[in-house]
Amino acid sequence: MSFIKIYIHLVFSTKNRESLLSTSNLRIKVWKHIKEYATEKGIFLDMINDYSDHCHCLISLRSDQNIEKVVQLLKGESSYWINKNQLTRGKFSWQDEYFAVSVSESMIGSVRNYIKNQEKHHQRKSFMDEYKGFIEKYNFKI
């Protein structure tokens, strides 16, 4: 048996970064559904929270999973579910792009806290500022 523990901080946004997840009740419904779906598909979703235009997840990959497939499953099924249940005005979809960075064991608590406090965090910092910060902090090449 292989033993793998790889944590990923995953961030994805709504198409065109529209504020489609505008109410707390809607966001709670969406992340609860994503969490249930992840469990059903054998995806270990440790933490999830979102804001009006994006979602943060802390996931751990199994040996037979890869980031691209997990992201495709979570985003694809959740947008289908949101549209099927007509939870937003107009058609809902996630942006194609996403951020995914590894998280060391020593930083798990900090990342969980960061994800948990998204609403407070975005009272001080816009998603665009957060986006630019991720690009700089993790040295992504655009």
Cβ proximity of 61 and 67 under 8 Å:
yes
Question: Residues 62, 68, 70, CA angle at the centre, nearest 5°?
Answer: 50
In this prediction, residues 76-81 reach a mean pLDDT of 98
pLDDT band per the 50, 70, 90 thresholds, residue 124? confident
- Give the confidence band of 25 by pLDDT, cuts at 50, 70, 90: very high
Please give the domain boundaries of the chain with CATH numbers for all domains.
6-137 (3.30.70.1290)
All residues at 6 or more sequence positions from 44 whose CB lies less than 8 Å from its CB, including other chains: 38, 59, 60, 61, 62
Residue 67 pLDDT: 96
Token pair recorded at residue 97: 């792009």
Q: What is the structure's pLDDT at 122?
A: 61
- pLDDT higher than threshold 70 for residue 142: no
Q: Which amino acid is at 42?
A: G
